[in-house]
Amino acid sequence: MGSLSEKCSSEGLLGGSFFFSSSSPSSGCRSKKAFVLTLAYQFAQHHPGLKSAIGRVVEKRPEVFQKNLHAQMKLLILGPLQEAHDYTLSTSSKSVIIVDGIDECELEATSIGVFNESDPKVRTQMRSREDDQLEILQVLLQAASNPTFPFRILIASRPERVFRHFFEAGPFAPTLTLDENYNPNADIALFLEAKFAEIRREYKLSPSWPPPHTISTLVKKASGQFIYAATVIRFITESRKHNPYTLLRIALAARLANVHSGLTPNTNLDALYTKILQSSPDPGLSVKWLWVTNGGLSDPASNGLVGEIYEDIYGGLPSRPPAQFINRLLESFDGEAEHLLGDLHSLVKVPSSGDEFKTPYSFHHKSLFDFLGDSNRSGSLFLGYGERSAFFWRKYFDVCRHKGFSDPRREDALHLSFYFSLALRLVDVSSMDPSDLDLPPSNIDCQMASNFNDAHHFVIENNVINNTVVRSAPSSTTSSLKELHSRIAAGAIHDSSERCDAPKCHPETRVAVQDELYSWIVHGDQDQQPKKIKWVTGPAGSGKTAIMGSLAEKCGIEGLLGASFFFSSSSPSSGRHTKTALVLTLAYQLAQNYPGLKSSISRVVEERPEVFKKTLQVQMKLLVLDPLREVGVRDHSSTTSVQKVIIVDGVDECEAGPIFNLDAPDVLDPELGKAQEMRTAMSTRSKEDDQLEILQVLLQASSDPSFPFRILVASRPERTFRQFFEAGPFAPTLTLDEKYNPDADIALFLEAKFSEIRRKYKLSSSWPPPYTIPTLVKNASGQFIYAATVIRFITKSRRHNPYTLLDIVLEAKPTGCHSGSKPFSNLDALYFKILQSSPDPALSIRWLWVINGEFLSSKQDGPIVFHIDIYFAMGTRPPAHFINRWLETFDGEAEHLLGNLHSLLKVPSSGEEFEKPYEFYHKSLFDFLDDPNRSGTLFLGSRACSAFFWKQYFNVCRNQGFTVSRQEDENYLSIYFDIELPAYVESDSDLSPSSIDCAIGTTVEEHAGSGVIRS
């Protein structure tokens, strides 16, 4: 293809080219993110007529860089081609586009992609490189099918399955195969020979290994299926339990046996979670890791207390910390993260080696923590609040007492210490005797203080830079819109790259629901006074986000979509899980969709820069309602004939804003006799308050005569929403219940997915057995999340084949609390089963909680529970590498603990963990883990989770330094771990060991409970 490109270029026949390369040092050559942008740039260079049109898009639509590939193709290539239809593009020159090596396209390093409403009718599996490769093919087909597109396209790749399936199904020119005698057995043999050679080199094994019969035996067993050979290699290379000799013998001879048998209601998800977590070498410790990784130390017993505030241990941070932070906090030996989480990848997304400095852990489903948080569901894997808190705080204090950052590069230490800086703001320093907590001052490492010396000053400078917005008077509409764009949550828009694999309705499913909503959007109510707001509700896993996503896409195509906003509690971006960017994002979309509104909104941004700090009500008035009134006076018809709906999904996933006022002055309270950092003053505002504020703002807008849009709001039926929509003048609520026959849709989804699995693995047409789909439909009880989790478990697990994995799902029996006929009993059983498949379910669950980043912690001076989001101040979720380096006690522990949890947690692929966070498929995982009545033995109380978190936190401070090989990793990690000393300390040199002990002791007292932590 390279030679052909040169020839076409020399003869004036090359329109553009793109050569993927998995070994390129540039991420743009390894992933899809720069693909359309690079082609558009070449088109602009080759065609003057396109250059101006493409330039206008870039200038006026800066969010185009955060759109998915389809939207980028439409805006940057097809749109300009259509606009330049009168400009003659010569078909005799530059008539070919060459795209080579798509099979080398790796999974995009994006901090987004968490979708909270898994629907079995949607593609909610953990996104893979094949998904991105298929997306590229679909985008090229989209372009080739457009009448304005004048180019031919040449695509080169290996004959991997994704390409064969794509080109076998479509209207393409005849395929040119470079090996006319394509022999899968020969290719499998070549693959195995190459992989075994790699293993020999890596482990310095004898050249006689493997024995001569091995490859021929494996080729025979593979029966032409590459997946078999690949699974054997992964089993040998990724398992930490045996050496390659033993693992190969196991692969050749051992049969995989089912652990559970039988199936009763209420236990399928719980049994599946339990199975995954028990595959960890230390399930109990893995669950502790998951709780700390998730960040939640909630105490279910405290629910309903007056003044309750939910505490997320990462809430004071600008973003979720990278996996490296978690690993360095929790690891008691190098590689512990991999050791514990290696088999839990179906639950938590573990950054690959090298990415853990930037990429956080993320979870596939919040329901994992619903399961772990319920002692009746998680059974022996349950960790009470005391255990969680003790584990967390022990790790935290270990870091402060013993750990220093030994990495010789200053930037790395700075980056890592930043997270500890923010966390130490939580410490309420008192005069308590540190000896009460068995933390002698002599254990405070002087090296830690010296490392923090540099870090302290560095972070102050960075914080000033990062938190100071320098504004110059905008001179144009474009500059004002760019300022507005910098404040929006671009990932919350329906066609963003963050939502590239968002749930969408499977063909022929949810038709009745979509038709009813579409009819309301177009025709409204038949009442004399039509209502402008309609509520779509249903329980967790009922498919709300899939429906709203598909509806937004349809309305966008048909010119009916004014704006959209999709909240996501597990999004790496804080803009998607708080209220702060809602109105700004809606206003930005309206400005792009309406030329008249664009100038009015831009003028507000230019003249009223303080609008970004106003309340939602004021922002709605200034940025939406006032511009609409102005436009209405000038052109009454400009907003009434098109774009008739605003879609807001997942409002129940909107979390409370920061609970700490970091801008408040530091004061000394002489009456209490201790230094108090008023910057850490608690806010009593809850997430329900913010959710209600959003609803009130939307009602305010809909009640304004100048507001021409209908509004669709989707959420779970929580109390806040029930009370709001029962009291107001709204369109009839649409409830996703039996009326819309979810069982039939679930059956269609399962049939389609099992068909895909049969094709992918070349399974018998008789699989699965006839009773399978009816059984799974019955177990689902109308919950799409159940069916979606089953499919992910079967397709993403590395331990068994689809036959065995399906048997595990069907044969898992409920135990004790998992039996019964409660609405979520089968989902709970499935979560339980998956978590128990971890080698250490308990530790895996701790990891999941830390990755999630939320904790509850009881204050000793009153029955109040404080909510802390440990990643909130960071602004984005940390990359998986941060979590790994924080929580791992040995190299590879993240993979070890999370390797079997990929059906719950989206884990960044190898090489992406530095930039990509762990992501959860569904919020219901943490509903499950946080309820002891559902997760049973897997429940981890907030104390145990907090203890796990803080134990790992302080382990990093005490003993561990970060050994990294890339400068960007140094800088990134230092942001997370930099220590900003308590305000009462005038300088780093004034910090004495006894002062640190005092802070540590108080932290134990305040957050974990007196006497919980012991060294």
Nearest to 492 by CA among 577, 591, 557: 577
Nearest to 249 by CA among 224, 223, 218: 218
For residue 143 the two structure tokens come to 């372009």
| Amino acid found at 994 | S
For residue 736 the two structure tokens come to 């996703």
The pLDDT averaged over each successive group of 10 residues in the chain (1015 residues) is: 85 89 69 91 84 88 88 91 64 74 75 37 55 92 90 88 82 74 75 90 88 85 64 66 75 46 40 64 88 64 29 47 80 80 72 77 70 80 79 73 45 45 38 32 32 33 33 56 88 86 71 86 78 88 86 90 90 83 95 87 91 93 94 56 81 73 38 36 69 95 92 90 87 83 86 86 88 88 82 79 86 54 69 85 89 57 41 65 82 84 80 81 81 85 76 63 45 40 32 42 42 33
- Residue 871: per-residue pLDDT: 61
* CA gap 298, 940 in Å, rounded: 9
Backbone angles phi, psi at 450, to 5 degrees: -70, -35
- Residue 671: per-residue pLDDT: 38
Q: What is the 3-state secondary structure (H, E, C) of 337-404?
A: HHHHHECCCCCEECCCCCCCCCCCCEEEECEHHHHHCCHHHHHHHCECHHHHHHHHHHHHHHHHHHCC
Helices (H), 568-686: 582-593, 595-607, 616-620, 626-634
Domains of the chain (ranges, CATH numbers): 2-169 (no CATH), 187-253 (no CATH), 526-731 (3.40.50)
- Residue 239: per-residue pLDDT: 60
| Amino acid found at 62 | P
* Contacts with 649 (C-beta within 8 Å, 6 or more apart), sequence order: 117, 544, 545, 548, 549, 564, 565, 566, 567, 713, 714, 715
* Contacts with 113 (C-beta within 8 Å, 6 or more apart), sequence order: 127, 498, 499, 500, 501, 906, 919
Instruction: Specify whether the CB–CB gap between 407 and 964 falls below 8 A.
Output: yes
* CA gap 576, 590 in Å, rounded: 18
* Contacts with 301 (C-beta within 8 Å, 6 or more apart), sequence order: 385, 941
The pTM of this model reads 0.50
Distance (Å) of CA 503 to CA 595, 773, 922: 31, 21, 11
DSSP one-letter code for 261: -
- Residue 927: per-residue pLDDT: 81
For residue 185 the two structure tokens come to 């057995």
3-state secondary structure of 660: strand
Backbone angles phi, psi at 643, to 5 degrees: 50, 75
Nearest to 1001 by CA among 383, 253, 502, 428: 428
Distance (Å) of CA 300 to CA 347, 810, 822: 22, 30, 19
Count Cα neighbours of 1004 within 13 Å in the Cβ-side half-sphere: 30
* CA gap 575, 489 in Å, rounded: 5
- Residue 306: per-residue pLDDT: 23
3-state secondary structure of 556: helix
DSSP one-letter code for 614: S
3-state secondary structure of 256: coil
Residues belonging to the chain: 1015
* CA gap 115, 925 in Å, rounded: 12
Backbone angles phi, psi at 99, to 5 degrees: -125, 115
Instruction: State the CB neighbour count (10 A cutoff) for residue 557.
Output: 9
Instruction: Specify whether the CB–CB gap between 331 and 883 falls below 8 A.
Output: no
* CA gap 555, 553 in Å, rounded: 6
* CA gap 648, 167 in Å, rounded: 37
Q: How far is CA 597 from the centre of its chain?
A: 33
- Residue 985: per-residue pLDDT: 30
